[in-house]
């Protein structure tokens, strides 16, 4: 997408091998290009696939990737392909999504991409103090960049994946920050992806080690001291994290406002970031609080969204929340409130 790119640099990106141990195929060969399309369609049909994760989407020839994706989507209009474009700049990621009007005329048929910009912004927001443009403002401003995407609701949001350190490690094993990361990914726009073992607070060395990042899931293997399927051997924190994620996911299954609702966010203030998911029938308020001690959140600035709602329910604890004037936040962490209107 660089309008000033040198031809040699472009060729090095698209025609060179990804790494020395992974030789690239040449889809510009018409017979090979056709074979790769036919092979993909065969596997989708044979295995009954619902989607494909297309690794390192930008490295092959871009014209061929358009041809490949268009062919697959024409054959299966309800199929999904999610492309990996590992960059933290949303303008670069957005270039590759279907429906984006690009200045260089490039047309893509790729429905979905991994939201690496949001993943990085969320981690930075959680790990930096709320001063000036740091802290929650990093996440707020990244979410505001959605105007760059043709279909932001089709982006895949995620805490971590198999190519980076475990999120619990990235957050320096802070459980409250972990919960806020998870809560955000399961309530913001887009399609959430949770890497196996995240619910168990799996960790990894700070110096990336893919073998450890992708360790076997504990349980079911000879010699396993921990069995995550039965809960045997899990620590109290692991049980708490697993139950936290389970409750959100069970609620989320039937929360249409999270699946299809609009999003409204408010400028973060005093270490608290607030946004709403809403439609004609439902509203959900999400509060992410980084304050170490007790704090009171005044609700007057949110009245345009709260409206006639006077009560809400904390989806984690099940407790009723008074929505009249203020909400007392005892400790850092997330609060997800399913709002109730007057009868």
User: Which residues, other chains included, contact 121 with Cβ-Cβ below 8 Å and sequence gap of 6+?
Assistant: 88, 138, 139, 141, 142
Bridge-based pairing state of the strands 80-83 and 112-113? parallel
Q: How many CA atoms lie within 13 A of 155 on its CB side?
A: 30
Q: How far apart are CA 97 and CA 25, in angstroms?
A: 23
C-beta of residue 327 within 8 angstroms of C-beta of residue 335 = yes
> Given 3-state DSSP classes, what are the helix, strand and coil percentages for the chain, each rounded to the nearest 5?
35, 20, 45
Catalytic residue among 62, 84, 160, 199: 84
For the chain, where are the alpha helices, taking DSSP H only? 7-15, 30-47, 62-75, 90-94, 116-127, 136-143, 167-170, 175-185, 210-213, 236-253, 256-260, 303-306
Among this protein's residues, is 325 annotated catalytic?
no
Options 12, 28, 55, 173, the catalytic residue? 55
Active site residue 84: yes
- For the chain, the distance separating the N- and C-terminal CA atoms, rounded to the nearest angstrom, is 54
Q: Which of 199, 208, 207 is nearest to 238 (CA)?
A: 199
Point out the residues that are catalytic. Answer: 55, 84
């Amino acid at each position: 997408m660089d309008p000033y790119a040198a031809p040699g640099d472009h060729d090095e990106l698209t025609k060179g091998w990804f790494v020395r141990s992974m030789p690239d195929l040449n889809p510009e060969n018409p017979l090979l290009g056709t074979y790769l399309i036919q092979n993909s369609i065969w596997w989708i049909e044979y295995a009954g696939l619902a989607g494909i994760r297309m690794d390192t989407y930008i490295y092959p020839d871009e014209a061929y990737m358009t041809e490949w994706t268009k062919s697959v989507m024409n054959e299966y209009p309800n199929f999904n392909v999610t492309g990996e474009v590992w960059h933290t700049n949303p303008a670069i990621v957005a270039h590759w999504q279907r429906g984006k009007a690009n200045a260089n005329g490039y047309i893509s048929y790729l429905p979905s991409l991994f939201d690496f910009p949001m993943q990085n912004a969320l981690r930075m927001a959680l790990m930096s103090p709320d001063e000036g443009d740091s802290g929650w403002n990093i996440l707020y401003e990244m979410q505001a960049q959605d105007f760059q995407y043709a279909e932001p609701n089709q982006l895949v949001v995620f805490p971590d994946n198999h190519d980076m350190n475990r999120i619990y490690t990235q957050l320096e094993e802070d459980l409250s920050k972990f919960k806020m990361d998870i809560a955000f990914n399961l309530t913001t726009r887009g399609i959430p992806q949770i890497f196996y073992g995240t619910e168990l607070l799996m960790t990894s060395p700070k110096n990336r080690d893919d073998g450890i990042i992708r360790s076997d899931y504990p349980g079911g293997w000879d010699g396993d001291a921990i069995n995550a399927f039965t809960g045997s051997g899990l620590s109290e924190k692991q049980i708490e994290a697993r139950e936290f994620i389970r409750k959100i996911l069970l609620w989320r299954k039937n929360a249409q406002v999270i699946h299809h609702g609009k999003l409204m966010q408010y400028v973060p203030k005093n270490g608290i970031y607030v946004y709403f998911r809403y439609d004609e029938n439902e509203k959900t308020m999400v509060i992410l609080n980084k304050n170490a001690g007790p704090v009171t959140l005044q609700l007057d600035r949110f009245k345009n969204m709260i409206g006639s709602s006077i009560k809400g329910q904390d989806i984690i604890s099940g407790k009723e929340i008074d929505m009249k004037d203020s909400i007392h936040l005892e400790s850092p962490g997330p609060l997800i409130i399913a709002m109730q209107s007057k009868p």
